[in-house]
Amino acid sequence: MDACEEHLLRPTHNELGIAPELGVLAALDATLATAAYQLIAENPDLYSLELAALGDLPSPLARKANLLVFHIGELRAGLREYRDLAGGDDPMF
């Protein structure tokens, strides 16, 4: 699943009571998702099948955007892993 397709973190009241930092991490998650969407929107050749069919590479800017989108996906996955660990054994998580 890419950086844009994952659902946003939405900590519950119980989660915030146990791990209040999840509130800030949820804001970071939303910011990262928005950044990924914007990078993809501003670099239409990022996932261009036409370029691939011609054997051309995307522009250097689009390649850097692709790398950033990839890292955003990794960061967002890390936020979910943190949330899962911060929740402990509580079945509400």
pLDDT tens for the 93 residues of the chain, in order:
455 567 898 999 999 999 999 999 999 999 999 999 999 999 988 877 787 788 888 889 999 999 999 999 999 999 999 999 997 545 444
Q: What is the pTM of this model?
A: 0.80
pLDDT of 1: 47
| CA pair distance 28, 36, nearest whole angstrom | 12
| Residue 17 and residue 88 in contact, taking contact as beta carbons nearer than 8 Å | no
Would you list the domain boundaries of the chain? Answer: 13-86
| CA pair distance 81, 79, nearest whole angstrom | 5
pLDDT of 48: 76
pLDDT of 42: 95
Angle among Cα 81, 86, 92 to the nearest 5 degrees reads 95
Quick one: tokens of 80?
């979910």
